[in-house]
């Protein structure tokens, strides 16, 4: 069943006064970030989104989350157009975005608090979720007393607290060290497999994209459109050592080839605009 | 005369040396204590600072007695303390102190009621700030002391003019700090809160307000001090009660020990209030990464 439909989505930012960009030799103060994106996601599907920096991946996520409006086109969840943050979506950020004045438990509770869930119920649920991530003993710690990996676990627990049908993740593991990252990838899959959540996951790491996803969506350099969709038909549940399997590498190469051109293109454009300065 | 001076310098040098040595000892004991964590750091710094205060008190006591200072203008500390005791026992000082505190607290509380909601709005909505900023800056840079005659002219010499000056003195500090606190709220936290469907009201209550609390408390500390200072100044110019009045009036009546008693009482109140507010500030910003709070 179709869960999310992204239809003809474009996004153009107007630059601040005095700033301009050169697009195809012309100077303009309008920056086209997304140039018409169409994508459909099934319910319970895990999709990863890769593309060169600045191709509008995060903006696309913001639109699904109702935090930004498209300049043209629309995003639908269950057939309904998104206009503002809704109860069906939850967001996980690269920089955790935990409230530093709240301890871990009450950070997870926050998502339920703003939805008017009773105190007892939300405490129970928050404790359960922290337990799910092996953080039962850390509920009374404040974010600055937790490691990066633990903070991101709390942030994911907070996102899951509202039982989202759609989970949006914006490079959630990019700031973590390699071991923690692999650990969290496995944990995320373990928990996702138990739920029926639809996940859209933005990343820069091809390995991560292939390991997690049912499909890897490769975007072009700005203005971003979908260049290619690589189906990852690796069996689930996926063990960590699947990364060394030849099938994994085959998928990885496919995704990489699609992306490499675009990264080079983006790089060249960057150099050109630097030369112009 | 020359001899005296030399011995004085000599004495001062010795005292300096002694305190320096004591401080050095304190420093090494701080390191030890930091490991043991038995004595709180604040108490420790209090103990370290004590010798200099003792030196000051001794100098105050001895200098007038040996004729280095005129005992008429600088009565020895013991005489001042006796006078203070008398004023407290007769209830005179407590009445004056109560009058001063009532005025400054009233003005301060009114300032909090106005400044914090206003600051939250100005910090959050840039359009609002753009309109109001010039006005705020203009009023803020108009000295509350310069305005005192205006307050007296329009509000009379009763309570209203004193409350007005304390209000004015604390308002801007509270407002400016609240605005800067709100402006420095991490936009990512606001984005995260919005992504969870936080309503505008909840965003203020649960994100903007707690995130800017450390800055607001810092503003509060400065504002409380300013309101105390303002009320004293106002009482010196036009009042029939209050510690400021007591100091000014004692000077006019040449009751010099009483004057110093009033000054000392103010110092003690100021110190006490400051320590409470420093503690409060520390509590409020405990969650911040940097846990250092200066004592000033």
Compute the mean pLDDT over every residue in chain A, rounded to the nearest whole number: 89
Q: What is the mean pLDDT of residues A240-258?
A: 90
Q: What is the mean pLDDT of residues B224-234?
A: 92
A114 contacts B202? CB cut-off 8 A = yes
Q: Which one of B194, B197, B208, B283 would you mutate to disrupt binding with A, by most A Cβ within 10 Å of its Cβ?
A: B197
A179: nearest Cα among A203, A155, A157, A148: A148
What is the helix (H) or strand (E) element at residue A14, kind and residue range?
strand A2-14
A101 contacts B213? CB cut-off 8 A = yes
Whether B68 shows a pLDDT value over 70: the answer reads yes
Here the tokens at position A201 are 């996951």
Say if pTM beats, i.e. exceeds, 0.90.
Answer: no
Q: What is the mean pLDDT of residues B148-152?
A: 89
| pLDDT attached to residue B28 | 42
The H-assigned helical ranges of chain A are 57-64, 104-113, 119-132, 148-161, 178-194, 206-212, 246-276
Of A65, A89, A100, the CB nearest to B287: A100
Burial class (CB in 10 A: 0-12, 13-18, 19+), A26: exposed
Rounded Cα gap, residues A173 and A205, in angstroms: 10
| pLDDT attached to residue A277 | 61
Rounded Cα gap, residues B271 and A173, in angstroms: 49
Here the tokens at position B19 are 């305190």
Rounded Cα gap, residues A112 and A244, in angstroms: 41
| pLDDT attached to residue B13 | 47
| pLDDT attached to residue A27 | 76
Tell me which chain A residues have a C-beta less than 8 angstroms from the C-beta of B189: 97, 99
Using one digit for the tens of pLDDT, what is the confidence trace for A55-92? Answer: 889 999 999 999 999 999 999 999 999 988 988 899 99
| pLDDT attached to residue B284 | 83
SS3 call for A151: helix
Q: How many CB pairs lie under 8 A apart between chains A and B?
A: 59
Question: What is the least distance, in Å, from the CA of A159 to any CA of chain B?
Answer: 8
Question: What is the least distance, in Å, from the CA of A171 to any CA of chain B?
Answer: 14
SS3 call for A268: helix
| pLDDT attached to residue B156 | 84
For tokens 């006796």, the residue is B82
B193 contacts A67? CB cut-off 8 A = no
For tokens 């010499």, the residue is B157
With a CB cutoff of 8 Å and minimum separation 6, the contacts of B53 are none
Tell me which chain A residues have a C-beta less than 8 angstroms from the C-beta of B197: 85-87, 114-115, 162
Tell me which chain B residues have a C-beta less than 8 angstroms from the C-beta of A67: 191, 194-195
Confidence of residue B101 (pLDDT cuts 50, 70, 90): very high
Whether B41 shows a pLDDT value over 60: the answer reads yes
B146 close contact with A: CB closer than 8 A: no
With a CB cutoff of 8 Å and minimum separation 6, the contacts of A99 are A107, A110, A143, B189, B207, B210, B211
Confidence of residue A46 (pLDDT cuts 50, 70, 90): very high
Q: What is the ipTM of this complex?
A: 0.88
Residue pair A55/A220 in contact by the 8 Å Cβ criterion: yes
- CA-based nearest residue in chain A for residue B290: A144
Using one digit for the tens of pLDDT, what is the confidence trace for B69-85? Answer: 898 899 999 999 999 99
Taking residue A97's Cβ as centre, other Cβ atoms within 10 Å add up to 24
A86 contacts B197? CB cut-off 8 A = yes
Whether A249 shows a pLDDT value over 80: the answer reads yes
Confidence of residue A271 (pLDDT cuts 50, 70, 90): confident
Q: Give percent of chain A above pLDDT 70.
A: 97
What is the helix (H) or strand (E) element at residue A169, kind and residue range?
strand A166-170
B288 contacts A93? CB cut-off 8 A = no
Q: What is the mean pLDDT of residues B222-239?
A: 90
For tokens 């790089």, the residue is A267
Tell me which chain A residues have a C-beta less than 8 angstroms from the C-beta of B204: none
| pLDDT attached to residue B46 | 81
Question: What is the least distance, in Å, from the CA of A161 to any CA of chain B?
Answer: 10
Whether B292 shows a pLDDT value over 70: the answer reads no
Using one digit for the tens of pLDDT, what is the confidence trace for A155-188? Answer: 999 999 989 999 999 999 998 898 899 999 999 9
A93 contacts B192? CB cut-off 8 A = yes
Rounded Cα gap, residues B42 and B139, in angstroms: 37
| pLDDT attached to residue B37 | 52
Whether B65 shows a pLDDT value over 80: the answer reads yes
With a CB cutoff of 8 Å and minimum separation 6, the contacts of B252 are none
Using one digit for the tens of pLDDT, what is the confidence trace for B131-145? Answer: 888 998 999 899 888
Give chain B as a 3 state SS string: CHHHHHHHHHHHHHHHHHHHHHHHHHHHHHHHHHHHCCCCHHHHHHHHHHHHHHHHHHHHHHHHHCCCCCCCCCCCHHHHHHHHHHHHHCCHHHHHHHHHHHHHHHHHHHHHHHHHHHHHHHHHCHHHHHHHHHHHHHHHCCCHHHHHHHHHHHHCCCHHHHHHHHHHHHHHHHHHHHHHHHHCCCHHHHHHHHHCCCCHHHHHHHHHHHHHHHHHHHHHHHHHHHHHHHHHHHHHHCCCCCHHHHHHHHHHCCCHHHHHHHHHHHHHHHHHHHHHHHHHHHHHCCCCCCCCCCCC
Q: Output the CA–CA distances (angstroms, integers) from residue A132 to A8, A161, A177, A189, in the order listed.
A: 38, 11, 21, 13
Tell me which chain A residues have a C-beta less than 8 angstroms from the C-beta of B203: none
Question: What is the least distance, in Å, from the CA of B195 to any CA of chain A?
Answer: 6
B33: nearest Cα among B48, B18, B16, B17: B48
Here the tokens at position A242 are 């699947």
Of A86, A89, A97, the CB nearest to B189: A97
């Amino acid at each position: 069943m179709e869960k999310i439909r992204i239809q003809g989505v474009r996004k153009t930012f107007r630059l601040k006064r005095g700033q301009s960009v050169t697009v195809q030799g012309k100077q303009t103060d309008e920056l086209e970030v997304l140039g018409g994106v169409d994508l459909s996601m099934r319910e319970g599907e895990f999709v990863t989104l890769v593309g060169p920096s600045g191709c509008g991946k995060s903006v696309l996520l913001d639109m699904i989350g109702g935090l930004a409006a498209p300049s043209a086109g629309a995003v639908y969840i269950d057939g309904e157009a998104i206009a503002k943050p809704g109860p069906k979506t939850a967001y996980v950020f690269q920089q955790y975005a935990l409230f530093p004045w709240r301890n871990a438990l009450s950070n997870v509770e926050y998502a339920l608090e703003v939805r008017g869930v009773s105190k007892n119920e939300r405490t129970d649920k928050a404790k359960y979720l922290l337990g799910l991530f092996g953080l039962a003993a850390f509920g009374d710690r404040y974010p600055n007393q937790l490691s990066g990996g633990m903070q991101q676990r709390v942030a994911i627990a907070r996102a899951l607290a509202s039982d989202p049908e759609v989970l949006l993740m914006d490079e959630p593991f990019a700031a973590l060290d390699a071991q923690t990252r692999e650990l969290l990838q496995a944990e995320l899959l373990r928990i996702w497999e138990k739920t029926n959540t639809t996940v859209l996951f933005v990343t820069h790491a091809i390995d991560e994209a292939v390991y997690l996803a049912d499909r890897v969506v490769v975007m072009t350099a700005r203005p971003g459109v979908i260049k290619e969709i690589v189906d990852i038909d690796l069996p689930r549940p996926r063990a960590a050592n699947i990364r060394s399997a030849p099938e994994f590498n085959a998928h990885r190469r496919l995704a990489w080839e699609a992306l490499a051109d675009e990264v080079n293109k983006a790089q060249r454009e960057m150099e050109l605009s630097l030369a112009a300065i | 005369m020359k001899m005296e001076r030399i011995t004085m310098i000599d004495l001062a040098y010795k005292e300096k040396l002694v305190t320096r040595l004591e401080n050095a000892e304190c420093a090494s004991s701080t390191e030890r204590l930091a490991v043991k964590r038995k004595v709180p750091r604040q108490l420790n710094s209090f103990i370290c600072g004590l010798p200099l205060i003792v030196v000051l008190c001794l100098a105050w006591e001895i200098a007038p007695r040996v004729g280095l200072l005129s005992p008429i203008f600088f009565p020895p500390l013991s005489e001042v303390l006796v006078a203070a005791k008398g004023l407290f026992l007769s209830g005179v000082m407590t009445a004056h102190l109560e009058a001063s505190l009532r005025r400054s607290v009233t003005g301060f509380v009114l300032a909090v009621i106005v400044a914090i909601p206003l600051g939250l709005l100005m910090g959050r909505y840039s359009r609002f700030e753009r309109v109001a900023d010039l006005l705020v800056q203009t009023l803020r840079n108009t000295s509350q002391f310069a305005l005192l005659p205006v307050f007296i002219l329009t509000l009379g010499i009763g309570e209203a003019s004193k409350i007005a000056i304390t209000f004015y003195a604390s308002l801007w500090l509270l407002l400016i700090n609240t605005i800067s606190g709100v402006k420095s709220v991490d936009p990512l936290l606001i984005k995260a809160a919005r992504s969870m469907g936080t309503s505008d009201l909840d965003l203020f209550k649960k994100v903007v307000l707690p995130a800017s609390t450390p800055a607001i408390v810092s503003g509060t500390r400065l504002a409380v001090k300013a309101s105390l200072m303002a009320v004293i100044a106002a009482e010196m110019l036009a009042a029939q009660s209050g510690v400021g009045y007591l100091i000014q009036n004692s000077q006019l009546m040449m009751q010099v020990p009483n004057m110093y008693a009033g000054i000392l009482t103010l110092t003690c109140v100021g110190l006490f209030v400051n320590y409470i507010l420093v503690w409060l500030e520390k509590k409020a910003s405990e969650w911040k990464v940097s846990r250092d709070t200066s004592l000033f």
